[in-house]
Structure formats: C-alpha cells, structure tokens
Structure 1
Amino acid sequence: MTIEELNTKYKIAGQLEFIAGNGGLPMIRVNNAKAAALISLHAGQVLSYQPAGEPEDVLFLSEKAYYQDGKAIKGGAPICWPWFGADPEGKGRPGHGFVRNRAWNVVATEAMNNGDVKVTLGLVDTPDTRAIWPQSFSLLQEIVIGATLNLSLITRNTGKETFSITQAFHTYFKVGDIARTKVLGLEGCEYIDKAGGGNEQKRQSDAVTIESEVDRIYLDVGNTLTIDDSALNRRIQITSQGSKTAVVWNPWEKISKEMADLEDTDYQRLVCVETTNAANDVVEVAPGSECRLIASYRVIRN
C-alpha cells in the first residue's frame, strides 16, 4: 500500500500517521499525550520511543543505519526470528533470521481507551520465506505506545508439524555514558560468554558493568532487569514474559569501527539488553498453537 492508502485506512487523527521515512521507507509516526514513537514497516521495528516529558529517547538509533530492502536497521528494537544468532543448521542463512530485513504488513491501529496507541504488524509465510525456512506460520507484533512501551511477538504455527524457534527483541538502549552504566537483575546468573568468538560459561557476581566488548547470553533469568544510566539520571526498567534468557551486548571500540553502520564512538552511547529465547531456551510450537514473547520498557527517574 502507498503512504496515502495507509493513512486513509489506518491513520488516527492527532495521534498516528504514516510518513515516508529515511530511504523512502514507510514509517508510522505516533505522537500522543503519553509518548512519541517512530516505527518502520521495513523490519517491523520500533526505531524511537520517548515518553512525554522525557528529554531523551529511550532507544539508540545509529546515525549511519541502513534504510533499504534486504538490510537490517541498526538500532531501535529489531526482531530476531525464527532463530537468534547464527544459522542453527549451518546453511549460511542470515544471522538472526529473516524478518528484520523485510517489509511487514499493517494489520490494525487502535486508539485505546486509556490513551495508549496500539499498532499491530504482521507477516505470513510466502514461497520466499519457505525457501529460507520451510514452515507455515503467522507472525504478529503488537506495539503499544503509552507511558510504557509494550512489545508482544506472537508466533502461530499454521502448518501440520511442530517447529522450533529461538527469537529476541534485540533492543538498543540509549545511555549517556557506557562507563557510568550498569545492568541490574542478573546477579548470580550463569552466562555464556560469546565475546571474541568464545563459548565459555561463567557466573555474574554483581551488577553488569561494561569496560570492553560484552556479548553474553544469560541463563534462567528473572522477568525484571534494569539499566541504571547515571549519566542521564534515569533507570530503564525491562519486564518480560515468555523468556528464560537475556542477552547483554556492547560492541566496544574495535567492532564499532569495523561496522559500517555505526559511528566509531557509538559503543559509548548504547547498550543492548535483549529479551530472548536463546541458547537452551528453545520454543517448540505445535500445529495450531502459538507462543508469545513480551517485553515492556519504562523510564524511572533517579
């Protein structure tokens, strides 16, 4: 559908409109009494979320991000699905699956009674997706923008055989200074240390601080994590459902310089704290059934 057609069918006067974003990609701009947000239909990805009265965006978005078909957008809340990380079958398929670099469909928009705005995006299997992953599915993402940003990823098995998935909200959070940032709530958890291509299992003794490349899959985590961002005088609380693992990632200096879609110093201004089904947290979805991965983000002032 064109931007005009999308606005005709789904616009919410004074709260939600469709615009041509960077690279000409269709995007949804939300601006209500509670928050402002930007959502890209390419990748089905929330790119920006800023609660009313907050001086800074909750999400990090690279100034050098790609905005084109077949490319992932660096920042915001990308969706990894139906696998997290490298191709689990070693067939050379894209890392983190195939839904973060293709167009999603608008299913519905809604002005809710409590003043929030709800956007529902979707994907279904096609001959193209079945050539990559031979399963029949319906994938929905419900995005609720209010004083809290709520994301729900709903996987439905529309085929005749059970399939397995791993998945993630690979969310990039904006921080004032990575040297003054801590991630709370993972104390005592075992984690798989993937930094530098490793695979060693370790235990987190106290709050997570970042002083070098960090790429960790935390196991058997609780449902509440907190980013303590003292430089911006705020905490970002992350609550989740349907997840037993979490990933903390920061590329640090060397990888930031190697990534064409990051500025050399971006590692100082971001941390990914990801709500995941990763490693041994594999989800089996039987025919006719569904699973939900849910993450909510809210700002708490220090």
Structure 2
Amino acid sequence: MTIEQLNAKYKLTGQLEFIVGKGGLPMIQVNSAKAKALVSIHAGQVLSYQPVGEPEDVMFLSEKAYYQDGKAIKGGAPICWPWFGADPEGKGPGHGFVRNRAWNVVATEAMTNGDVKVTLGLIDTPDTREIWPQSFSLQQEIIIGESLNLSLITRNTGKEKFSITQAFHTYFKVGDIARTKVLGLENCEYIDKAGGSNAQKQQSGAVTIESEVDRIYLDVGNTLTIADSALNRHIQITSQGTKTAVVWNPWEKISKEMADLEDADYQRLLCVETTNAANDVVEVVPGGECRLTADYRVIRS
C-alpha cells in the first residue's frame, strides 16, 4: 500500500498517521495524549517511544542506522524470530529473517482508555519457506500509552509442530553506561557469550557494565529494572512467556567496528532483551500459538 492508501484505511485523526521515513520507508507516527512513538513497518519495529512529560526517549536509535530492505535497523525494539542468535540449521541470517523485511499493517485502534494500538503481521511466503520451511502467521500487537506494551504472537498454520527462539532485542537509551545498573537478575545463572567463551556463571549483585557484556540469563523473574542515575529514571520491564533475558552492550571496540553505530554509542545504550533463548525453546503445535510480551514503563526515581 502507498502512504496515501495506508492513511485512508488506518489513520487515527489527531493520534496516528503514516509518513515516509528515512530511506523512504513507510512509518507510523503516533502523537497521542499519552505518548509519542515511531514505528517502522519495515522490520515491524518500534523505533521511538516517549511518554508525555518525559524529557528523553525511552529507546536508543543509532544516528548511523540502516534504513533499507534486507538490513536491520540499529535501535528501538528489533524482533528476533524464529531464532535468536545463529540459525540452528546454519543457513539463515543471524536473529532470523523478520527484522530486515517489510511487515503488513493489520489494524490500528484508538482504545477507550486513550491508548493507541497498532497490529502488524507477517505470513509465510515462498521466500520465507526457502529460509525456514514452516507455515506460520506472526503478529505484533503494539500498545502505546503510559507504558509501551509489545506482544509477539506466533501461530502454527501448518501440519507439523515447529520450535522457535525469539526476542525483543530492545535498545534502551541511558545517560551514562557507567552510572547504569540492571536490577532483578541478582543470583541468576547466565551464559557469558562475550569473547565466545559460553561459560556459565552466577550473577552477584546488580548488573553493571564495565566492559563488553553479552549474557543470556536463565530462569529469570518477570520484572527487571534499568536504574539510570544519569537520567534520573528507572525503566521497568515486565514480561510474560519467557524464562530468559539477555543483557548486551558492545563496549568500545565493537562499537567502533560496527558501521551502523557511532564510536561512543556504547556509552549511551543498553540492550535488556525479553527472550526465549538458549534452553528456553518454545514448541508450537499445528493450530497452536505462543505469545511473548514485554511492557516498558518509566518510573521516576
């Protein structure tokens, strides 16, 4: 659909409209009484979320991000699906194939409580079946209000069961990584992926970032908090449908090596990801579905 067609069918006057974004990509701009947000239809990805009254965006978005077909957008809340990390079969792209292609607009809704709901979707095509030979319907429900609520719903429309891993690979904006902590993972076991070690360790105290961090935390609770003293705020992350979480910061060397990051971006971003990763594999039977949900809320300290 063209921007004009999308607006004719799905625009919510005074709250939501479709615009041409960077790289010519179609995007959804939300300006409601509760929050501002920007959603890219390419990748089905929330790029920006800022509640009314908050001086800073909740999300980090790289100034050097790619905006083109076949490329992932560095920042916001990328979707990793139907696998997190490397393709188990060794054929497809890292973190799956839905974060670098166009999604479809399914619905928009002005909810009675003042929230705005956007539903995006993907179904299998001959192209996706060459990468992953399964029949599926994937939808993301995005609810923009005093919090940002994301739900990823996987439906098996085929005749055979399949297994997935997945994630909201969300990039949060922080004021200073040296003054940022993650609460809620104390004493959890984690797989340390930094440097390719894959050693299993135990978290002691709050998570602080002093070097490259790439960890899959196991058997986590459903509430984590980013304590950001530089921006004087806490971001509360509440999840459902998950037993694992990932904490990632590229640190200086990798930040410099990544063409779609500024050299110093590691100082102002932190990924705390709601995941089904490592041993947290989800099996979806024919006709069945699974739901992964993350809710992000700013709490002033």
Both proteins in one fold, TM over 0.5? yes
| Paired letter, 1:106 | V
| SS in structure 1 of the partner of residue 230 of structure 2 | helix
CA distance in 2, matches of 1:72, 1:204: 31
CA distance in 2, matches of 1:133, 1:24: 28
Q: Deviations over 1:105-148 (max 9, x none)?
A: 00000000000000000000000000000000000000000000
Mapping 1:124-135, distance limit 5 Å: 124-135=123-134
Mapping 1:28-177, distance limit 5 Å: 28-91=28-91, 93-177=92-176
Cross-structure match for 1:257? 256
| Paired letter, 1:48 | S
Deviates more, 1:289-298 or 1:82-91: 82-91
User: What root-mean-square deviation, in Å, do the aligned CA atoms of Structure 1 and Structure 2 show?
Assistant: 0.3
Matched, 1:13 2:27: no
| SS in structure 1 of the partner of residue 9 of structure 2 | helix
Cross-structure match for 1:25? 25
Shift of 1:198: 1.5
CA distance in 2, matches of 1:69, 1:122: 17
Q: Deviations over 1:192-244 (max 9, x none)?
A: 00001120000001000000000000000000000000000000000000000
| Paired letter, 1:36 | K
Shift of 1:87: 1.2
CA distance in 1, matches of 2:38, 2:297: 16
TM, length-normalised to structure 1: 0.99
| Paired letter, 2:6 | L
Any stretches of 5+ residues in structure 2 without a counterpart? none
Shift of 1:90: 1.9
Cross-structure match for 1:202? 201
Cross-structure match for 2:292? 293
| Paired letter, 2:8 | T
Q: Determine what percentage of the aligned residue pairs are the same residue.
A: 88
CA distance in 2, matches of 1:202, 1:35: 39
CA distance in 2, matches of 1:239, 1:287: 29
| SS in structure 2 of the partner of residue 206 of structure 1 | coil
After TM superposition, what 4+ stretches of structure 1 lie above 4 angstroms from structure 2? none
CA distance in 1, matches of 2:270, 2:96: 21
CA distance in 1, matches of 2:90, 2:71: 21
Q: Deviations over 1:126-180 (max 9, x none)?
A: 0000000000000000000000000000000000000000000000000000000
Cross-structure match for 1:276? 275
CA distance in 2, matches of 1:193, 1:110: 41
TM, length-normalised to structure 2: 1.00
| Paired letter, 2:64 | K
Shift of 1:102: 0.2
Cross-structure match for 2:246? 247
| SS in structure 2 of the partner of residue 248 of structure 1 | strand
Any stretches of 5+ residues in structure 1 without a counterpart? none
CA distance in 1, matches of 2:200, 2:8: 53
Shift of 1:48: 0.1
CA distance in 2, matches of 1:196, 1:267: 17
| Paired letter, 1:108 | A
CA distance in 1, matches of 2:64, 2:143: 27
CA distance in 2, matches of 1:196, 1:53: 40
| SS in structure 2 of the partner of residue 231 of structure 1 | coil
